[in-house]
């Protein structure tokens, strides 16, 4: 793993507001969701496409364990904005070209994760000129981890590009169209990093020009630009949480508006963390993902920590088959992006995928 991969690995952060990590069986919404999951039968004939999320560990796409597992159709690789645009209008797509050529030569496909956020105070994911030129207002702003609403003692938790800043947005869109001109129709798809950002709730940690409503509109504007740049390949927005709300307790319609815009624009939706038993996911993005299934492509990412979740009905760690079953039968996904967290990747995922010859066999095993 290279140094940068630690900064971007997982591509997700904890929910913006604290939530119980256990299952509250007194909550009717959670009970209903679990009931649907446990009792429903698979009726979808659509295959699930299995990809491995390598983050920035690009060298791992050449490992035999991945290449020789036919059920794994391709690789999802993270490319930070700052590495794709070395200077203003100085694009460097050599890493993507190299990875795409190699994967194609092995019968595999490439899914790009375009990263504009980091999870380390030391690293900023945007090009240097955005940081230096005052027209961009710093280019990126600090994100924070806030515990129990105590913003006075918030801890810096990385950097986020100023997605809502018109000057930054203009540069980001130009990158999208440069990428699309070369790779649209050649790659399987491209996804944005998650919608969740950590700026607190009171306003004291808000960056310049940021409001919840402005941010909502920026996410929608950017996903529409992504689809215009990539009309042929899958365009996908990771939309897990939105600042300023916590569904269903404080639902201000921000996340729902993003999903509605994505459906209207034919942009895929989904997000990081396949966690069938976590209230934060069950009550926020999962119902919206399920509603969008069949209308737009759906992708869900198995991130670091997801393999370790415990199934409350068995008291045991969740299995690969259980994760796939929930993804297929409740979320109705088209793509699952599996992370390489060890020992689960080598000891659980790869053996499971090798026991099946393809998606048809996977479906049979899940039902059996």
Mean pLDDT of the chain: 89
Give the tens place of pLDDT for each residue, 294-352.
Answer: 999 999 999 999 999 999 989 999 999 999 999 999 999 999 999 999 999 999 999 99
Q: What is the mean pLDDT of residues 204-210?
A: 97
pTM of the model: 0.88
Whether 12 has a pLDDT exceeding 70, the answer reads: no
Name the burial class of residue 47, with classes exposed (0-12), middle (13-18) and buried (19+) by CB atoms within 10 angstroms of its CB: middle
7 confidence band (pLDDT: 50, 70, 90)? low
pLDDT at site 220: 98
User: Total domain count for the chain?
Assistant: 1
pLDDT at site 18: 43
Q: How far apart are CA 307 and CA 341, in angstroms?
A: 8
Q: What is the mean pLDDT of residues 289-293?
A: 98
Give the tens place of pLDDT for each residue, 298-312.
Answer: 999 999 999 999 999
Q: Which residues form the domain of 199?
A: 3-367
CATH number, domain with residue 163? 3.20.20.80
341 Cβ contact partners less than 8 Å away, ≥ 6 residues apart: 304, 305, 307
Q: How far apart are CA 1 and CA 253, in angstroms?
A: 39
pLDDT at site 328: 97
Q: How far apart are CA 186 and CA 109, in angstroms?
A: 9
């Amino acid at each position: 793993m290279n140094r940068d991969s630690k900064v971007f690995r997982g591509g997700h952060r904890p929910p913006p507001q604290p939530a119980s990590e256990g299952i509250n069986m007194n909550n009717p919404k959670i009970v209903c969701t679990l009931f649907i999951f446990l009792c429903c039968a698979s009726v979808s004939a659509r295959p699930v496409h299995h990809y491995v999320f390598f983050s920035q560990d690009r060298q791992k796409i050449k490992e035999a364990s991945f290449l020789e597992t036919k059920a794994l159709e391709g690789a999802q690789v993270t490319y930070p904005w700052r590495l794709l645009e070395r200077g203003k209008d100085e694009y460097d797509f050599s890493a993507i070209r190299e990875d795409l050529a190699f994967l194609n030569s092995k019968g595999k496909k490439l899914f790009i994760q375009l990263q504009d956020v980091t999870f380390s105070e030391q690293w900023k994911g945007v090009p240097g000129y955005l940081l230096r030129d005052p027209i961009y207002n710093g280019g990126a702003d600090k994100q924070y981890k806030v515990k129990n609403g105590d913003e006075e003692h918030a801890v810096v938790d990385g950097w986020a590009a100023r997605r809502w800043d018109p000057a930054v947005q203009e540069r980001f869109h130009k990158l999208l169209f440069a990428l699309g001109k070369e790779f649209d129709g050649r790659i399987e798809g491209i996804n944005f990093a998650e919608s969740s950002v950590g700026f607190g709730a009171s306003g004291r940690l808000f960056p310049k020009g940021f409001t919840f409503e402005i941010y909502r509109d920026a996410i929608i504007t950017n996903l529409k630009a992504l689809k215009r740049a990539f009309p042929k390949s899958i365009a996908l927005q990771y939309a897990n949480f939105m600042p300023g709300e916590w569904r269903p307790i404080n639902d201000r319609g921000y996340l729902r508006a993003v999903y509605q815009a994505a459906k209207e624009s034919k942009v895929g939706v989904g997000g990081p963390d396949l966690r069938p038993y976590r209230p934060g996911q069950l009550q926020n993005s999962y119902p919206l993902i399920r509603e969008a299934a069949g209308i737009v492509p759906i992708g869900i990412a198995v991130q670091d920590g997801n393999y370790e979740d415990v199934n409350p009905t068995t008291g045991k760690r969740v299995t690969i088959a259980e994760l796939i079953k929930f993804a297929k039968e409740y979320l109705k996904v088209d793509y699952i992006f599996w992370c390489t967290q060890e020992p689960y990747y080598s000891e659980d995922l790869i053996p499971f995928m090798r026991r099946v010859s393809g998606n048809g066999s996977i479906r049979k095993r899940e039902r059996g």
